[in-house]
Structure 1
Amino acid sequence: MSLVVNSNIAGLNAGRSLGIADRQLTASVERLSSGLRINRAADDASNLAISEVMRAQIGGLKVALRNTRDGISVLQTAEGALTEVHDVLHRMRDLAVQAANDGALDPDARAAVQAEMGQLRDELDRIAGTTSFNGRRLLDGSYRGTFQVGADVGQTLAIDVRSGTSAAALGVAGVDVTARDGGTTARTASAAPSAGSPSAVTLGSSTLTGGDFDRLDGAVSYRGRTLDLASIRFRDTDSAAQRLDRVNAALTATFGAGAVTATNSGGLVVTGTAPPSGASAQELAAVTVGFTPATGASSAIAAIDAAIGQVSVIRGDLGAVQNRFEHNVAKLGAALDNTAASESRIRDTDMATEMTAFSRTQILNQAGTAMLAQANQSPRGVLQLLA
């Protein structure tokens, strides 16, 4: 057995083993304190790359889940408003059925029913114009929203409410239970005069008889002025001549005597006098006129029934989309759980296993320290030989 002083081989071996145990102990402490098996790329480079992709997927799934729930909120907002639209239409139908009971109602009672009907039409317009989500209107016929309901490109779902729910969009803007049912088919016409010659507009071939033209639609625009024909009102008892007189009275009041006149010859004819040569574009404005028959109570019932059906279709479409959103929420929840579990198996520390390794390395570290101390004492035995 040789005894040397310059090279403490036992000490060097003990120091090397102690260094290894110390590095392992440091790694175990880091994993136990952070809860992560991979704290840096050097710990496990390939699995780090896999887990980072999974982390991005997990983040995308969480946001997609919120997006989907936003879509459900949009649909619930629209559905709540459409419930009220249905309620309004049901009340309008009740009023129309009441007004159809001609034998028990006098004109004043019909007028009262029509007054409430008008308020309900205004409410339909208000609901359509004010129902919104985060500043975007939902029921005016313009809404189209695309929702990112997945973590990847192209995973979208659209909500399309292209049919508005205003009174006009539902076809109930013109219901009038004070008028008689029947009448003529709606007509419109327009013509632009040229300088030096009159412009005449003829509406169909039907003459202006009692029961026709109970309500005029459209406008007459001439020489910078416009008459809204809807402002002209007829009585049920007016004769054809009286109706024509009312039209001409309104034309005279708006454009002056003889400027624009109406005649009843094979239909309602509106004629504007010739503007002077070199007339401005404003003076050459088109003459436009139209008319629709009165709806009456029975026609109102049919129109409201059609509107109720239209709203039902809209609600059905939105309900079907909401079911898709609900299914997507369930799918995203499952995907999120499974992806998070996979990422955890790669990245997270198994605390029980790591604690076992920690205890082992801690003991090795303590033993290595003790052995290094003993190895450092060995060369001192040389002193006994010198004594």
Structure 2
Amino acid sequence: MPVIATNTAANSAIRFLNKNASMAANSVSKLSSGSRIVRASDDAAGLAISTKLTADTTALKQAGTNAAQAASVLQVADGGLARISDVLQRMKALTAQAISGAVTSAERGYINAEYTALNSEVQGILDTTTFNGSELIKGAYNESFFVGLGASGAINAIAADLTTGVTVTAPGGGTTGATNANASAASALIDTQIANVSTARATVGALISRFETRGDQIATSVENIEAANSAIKDVDLAAEQSRLVSANVLTQAAVSAVSQANQIPQSLLRVLQ
């Protein structure tokens, strides 16, 4: 029935115009953000999963940093232990020289002077091998580093504790008591200390290897989780661009339809003329 009070065609055209314009705006938002989920209504379940994966990725990236820092701490400890090992090797050579019958008591006194100075240097290395104010091989360093997800993600890092047992008896002092027996006793003690330092370095090295391996594993996990998250939330540019083009065409068609619908009452008025 022809009427002029209600333009049903125009109302319908306007409804489709608003719908098409909304579709175009939504596509523009997705394309500009690069995300398929701009609003929760776009994909509620996908948003929940993506948010959790993003949180896991954030935690794992920090865990990777923590693993690298832990390895760095232990490498500092290993560096100190390596220098102590070098000093002990020289002290071992001095005891071997003092044991020899080719040197006199006076010469053993000279050997003792260097030996004593090196022994003091061992103590100096123990005092100065620190990280962020913490003594690593003198203060029984024992800290945990969070390198995973959840309560089970912590690894305890224990550096070598060489607070005791690093001071050894000198091969002799001056011309008094500078004997082969003293040098032999000192040599045996040096052997013990070399073994202790070697054991400590092995322990530290194993921990460094563990933290480096965990860092590699974390990097792999981050890569895989980000790939999975991308599949959920990232927009397909080609498909979304096609939808935008389609929505723009429909919007233009709806604008034209509204214009045509608005002319219908004008045509009906001619009946009254």
| Fold agreement, TM-score > 0.5 | yes
**Partner deviation per Cα, 1:87-122 (whole Å, 9 max, x = no partner):** 0000000111111112x2122211110000111111
Per-residue deviation at 1:307?
0.9
**Local SS of the residue matching 2:155:** strand
In the alignment, does 2:256 pair up with 1:370?
yes
**Local SS of the residue matching 1:145:** strand
2:165 corresponds to which of 169, 180, 185:
169
**Local SS of the residue matching 1:157:** strand
Structure 1 residues 315 and 304, CA, compared in 2 at 3 Å: closer, same or farther? same
CA-atom RMSD in angstroms: 1.9
For residues 218 and 54 of structure 2, the distance between their equivalents in structure 1, rounded to whole angstroms, comes to 15
**AA paired with 1:303?**
L
Matches within 5 A, 1:127-142: 127-142=125-140
Per-residue deviation at 1:295?
6.3
Matches within 5 A, 1:55-204: 55-102=54-101, 104-164=102-162, 168-170=164-166, 173-178=167-172
**AA paired with 2:234?**
D
**AA paired with 2:169?**
V
Percent of counterpart pairs with the same letter? Answer: 35
TM-score (normalised: structure 1): 0.67
**Partner deviation per Cα, 1:277-306 (whole Å, 9 max, x = no partner):** xxxxxxxxxxxxxxxxx9611121111111
Moved more, 91-100 or 74-83: 74-83
For residues 70 and 34 of structure 2, the distance between their equivalents in structure 1, rounded to whole angstroms, comes to 36
Specify which structure has the bigger relative contact order, considering alpha-carbon pairs within 8 angstroms and separated by 6 or more residues. 2
In the alignment, does 2:227 pair up with 1:328?
no
Structure 1 residues 236 and 365, CA, compared in 2 at 3 Å: closer, same or farther? closer
Per-residue deviation at 1:383?
3.4
* Unaligned residue ranges in structure 1 (runs of 5+): 180-232, 238-293
Per-residue deviation at 1:359?
0.7
Moved more, 47-56 or 129-138: 47-56
**Local SS of the residue matching 1:69:** helix
Per-residue deviation at 1:29?
1.0
Contact 2:160 2:203 in 1 (8 A): no
In the alignment, does 2:233 pair up with 1:347?
yes
**AA paired with 2:48?**
A
Q: Which has the higher strand share?
A: 1
**Partner deviation per Cα, 1:343-387 (whole Å, 9 max, x = no partner):** 222222111111111111011111110111011112211233333
**Local SS of the residue matching 1:120:** helix
TM-score (normalised: structure 2): 0.94
Q: Which has the higher helix share?
A: 2
2:247 corresponds to which of 348, 361, 383:
361
For residues 181 and 169 of structure 2, the distance between their equivalents in structure 1, rounded to whole angstroms, comes to 6
**AA paired with 1:309?**
A
For residues 221 and 64 of structure 2, the distance between their equivalents in structure 1, rounded to whole angstroms, comes to 11
For residues 235 and 169 of structure 1, the distance between their equivalents in structure 2, rounded to whole angstroms, comes to 25
Contact 2:24 2:248 in 1 (8 A): yes
Contact 1:81 1:127 in 2 (8 A): yes
Structure 2 match to 1:27: 26
Contact 1:92 1:117 in 2 (8 A): yes
**Local SS of the residue matching 1:312:** helix
**AA paired with 2:157?**
I
For residues 333 and 367 of structure 1, the distance between their equivalents in structure 2, rounded to whole angstroms, comes to 51
